[in-house]
Amino acid sequence: MRALGNSVVTLCLSLLSFGHIQAKPDLKWWQTTIVYQIYPRSFKDSDGDGVGDLKGIISKLDHFVYLGVQAIWLSPFYKSPNKDFGYDISNHTDVDPLFGDLDDVTELIEECHKRDIKVIIDFVPNHTSDLHPWFQASIKKQEPYTDFYVWTDGKTGPDGARTKPNNWLGVFGGEVWKWNDERKQFYYHAFVEEQPDLNYRNPKVVDEMNKVIDFWMKMGVDGIRVDAITNLIETEDIFQDEPRSYKPGVPPFQYEYLDHIYTSNLPEIRGAIRGWRNVMDKHSQKDGLERFMVVEFYDTPEKRNAYLDYGVHLPFNFDLIEPIGIRPESGGRQIRDLVDIEYANLPQNSWPNFVMGNHDRKRITKKRGARAANAFNMLLLTLKGTPTTYYGEEIGMEEIHVSFEDTQDPWGLNYGKERYEEFSRDPCRSPLQWNDGYQSGFTTANKPWLPVHPNYKTLNIQTQMASNDLSPIQLYSQLARLRQEPSFQYGDLFYSVVNDNIFSYVRQTEGQPQYLVTINFGKSKSIDDYTSSVNGREGKVIAHTGNFNEQNMKIDLSKIVLKPDQGLVLEVLSNKDEL
């Protein structure tokens, strides 16, 4: 597939190319939209308690219209004791009073649909809260809940005391077996101890979780993001230790210390996914609208793509995040290589996707500085495939600093004062900065759940929208519209100049303008000749990251000059046009 002349690479991908005539593919809604992740606690607070809520989101839907986003994914808003900020659910079919109530969800869905915005919710199948009635009944061995969770007597120690059955480690580090004094057994928890794992070897659990999906489909949601799919099922014989991974520098407490052959990505997961797909498809049959399923999965492309056969539309592609991911020093060639992992491994008839950040990982600006926001949004929004934007990326939001004493995230706290900053997710979860007013317009409370970043006076949505100079949000909204062009929406992608600084590519489809996207991800000015990979010698500037004198001008494609963090989208003027 590679090497078509000078560093030009062709990507055939899944699109039909019959000779020269390219048919417009029948794209589904989740292929043409940007997915925007809302972390409800941090988006907009309507009632002054310092925590974002559903009414807050409803009051801000025009933000998505401005941005050009047609699908939002909401992290959990269900009833929860909030030990893991909503990912510990005590009632799957009700809303936590912090966020509102079911009527608010109905209103949110209606208001989104009026604006042509799809609503994707978080589905957390692996575990519940320990305060979920199922777990409380399970402790008491009340049927049918006795085997709803992964219970064991463990082993018998030399002194006759019960000891845990194996050496498994939690995703947040440390112990996964918790002794319950009432039931006199251990239960398994892959995350915090207040998140007991459900037992998917029990068909009743499978049924109950299918009903949860059915409930939300009836409420009118358009899709689900499945949480922690990797951890769904454990080996049947739990009296087996997991082997060491021998990853360098990883202490015995840390999840990566072991190779998770008995707890991660087991084949039985596929059956569960099939079941969820069937529930969703029943709803699609009624109205012909596809219900979207994206799964959270941090692993190799081969492993994530294997899920596509069982009803998943997109396994989140986290290659830009890890295991290598975008680093402070990644230049053009390295970023091309990260992008290429997705394209090179994608099975026939599958659709690519890209993610730069989420509520669990460092923001892109943390790694590359605020100045790079435009360059990375340009990348994300002009690649081929569905992009996911984490709230705040549209304005280049930066991470806050949180002291150990003020840290809330259990993952950070688990690692103690020495290492908490490596793991704590608080810094990337600070309130969205709406304006330069009190608490950046996020809340009227004097103490939001996490502090607003002190840079909000200048870095906020309102200021950026009104700015006379091109701002990140303005560029974002331009690019979101540009994505609607056939060349970007479904056209092919060919790599053009790729070097230490530059990553560039051509987007094109038959009968449509040819576009060149070029971005300098390096540390020095770059002057490059692109003419061998495009059908012309000149390009018209369609979008740029700012600080360009050449605006509205034609650019000579044989010597484009780009400084670090600068990028351009050019329409290639064909040789014919120039005559």
β-pair partners for 569: 517, 543
- Per-residue interface string for the shown chain with Mg ion, residues 27-46, x marking contact by CB under 5 A: ------------------x-
Quote the least distance from Cβ 61 to ligand NOJ, whole Å. Answer: 24
**Two structure tokens written together for 41:** 């606690």
**x/- binding map, residues 330-369, to ligand NOJ, per CB under 6 A?**
-----------------------------xx---------
Q: How distant, in Å, are the alpha carbons of 139, 141, 150, 187 from that of 147?
A: 10, 8, 7, 11
Say whether 529 is catalytic. no
CA–CA distance, 243 with 239 (Å, rounded to integer):
13
Sheet holding 292-295, edge to edge: 314-315, 292-295, 223-226, 118-123, 71-74, 35-38, 386-390, 353-355
For residue 421, give the nearest of 442, 400, 449 by alpha carbon: 400
- Active-site residue (options: 45, 234, 296, 565): 296
CA dist., res. 461 & res. 233, Å (int)? 42
Nearer to ligand NOJ, 359 or 483 (CB): 359
Distance CA 551, CA 473 (A): 18
* Active-site residue identified among 45, 104, 227, 342: 227
User: Residue 344 CA to chain centroid, in angstroms?
Assistant: 20
CB-based burial label for 237 (10 Å; 0-12, 13-18, 19+): exposed
- Distance (Å) of CA 307 to CA 30, 59, 293, 350: 17, 36, 11, 11
Between CA 560 and CA 518 the distance in angstroms is 9
Q: Which is nearer to ligand NOJ, 53 or 84 (CB)?
A: 84
48-67 binders of Mg ion (CB under 5 A): 49, 51, 53
Of residues 49 and 101, the one with the C-beta less far from Mg ion: 49
Nearest residue to ligand NOJ, by Cβ distance, number only = 87
How near is the Cβ of 464 to ligand NOJ at its closest, in Å?
Answer: 28
What is the size of the binding site for ligand NOJ (CB under 6 A)? 9
Supply the minimum distance, in Å, between the C-beta of residue 463 and Mg ion.
24
DSSP three-state, residue 191 = coil
Q: What amino acid occupies position 241? A: D
For residue 17, give the H/E element and its range. none
If contact means CB under 5 to 8 A according to the sort of partner, which of ligand NOJ, Mg ion, none does residue 87 touch? ligand NOJ
CB of 225 to ligand NOJ, least distance (A): 9
| 18, β-bridge pairs | 21
Structure tokens at 45: 């607070």
Q: Which is nearer to Mg ion, 54 or 213 (CB)?
A: 54
Helix (H) or strand (E) holding 202: none
Judged by CB under 6 A, which of 124, 238, 497, 573 binds ligand NOJ?
Answer: 124
Q: Tell me how far apart the alpha carbons of residues 16 and 109 are, in angstroms, rounded to a whole number.
A: 35
Q: 422 vs 577, which CB is nearer to ligand NOJ?
A: 422
Nearest residue to 33 via CA among 350, 535, 387, 296 = 387
Which among 276, 277, 320 is positioned nearest to 298, based on CA atoms? 320
Select the binding partner of residue 340 from ligand NOJ, Mg ion, none (C-beta < 5 to 8 A, by kind). Answer: none
222 binds, among Mg ion, ligand NOJ, none (CB under 5 to 8 A by kind): none
Q: Which does 47 bind (CB under 5 to 8 A by kind): Mg ion, ligand NOJ, none?
A: Mg ion
Query: Residue 49 or residue 556: which is nearer to Mg ion going by CB?
Result: 49
Is 175 a catalytic site residue? no
The site map against ligand NOJ for 222-251 (x = CB under 6 A) is -----xx-----------------------
**CB-CB contact of 188 with 196 (8 Å):** yes
Of the two residues 77 and 434, which places its CB atom closer to ligand NOJ in the complex?
Answer: 77
- Shortest distance (Å) from residue 439 CB to Mg ion: 12
Proportion of the chain in helix, strand, coil states, percent, rounded to 5: 30, 20, 50
In one-letter notation, the amino acid at residue 28 is K
Which run of H or E residues covers position 481? helix 472-482
Q: Which is nearer to ligand NOJ, 90 or 350 (CB)?
A: 90
**Is 304 a residue that touches ligand NOJ (CB under 6 A)?**
no
Given candidates 84, 319, 426, 538, which one binds ligand NOJ under the rule CB under 6 A?
A: 84
Kindly state the smallest distance separating residue 362's Cβ from ligand NOJ, in Å.
14
Interaction site with ligand NOJ (CB under 6 A) = 84, 87, 124, 191, 227-228, 296, 359-360
Q: Which residues are catalytic?
A: 227, 296
Interaction site with Mg ion (CB under 5 A) = 45, 47, 49, 51, 53
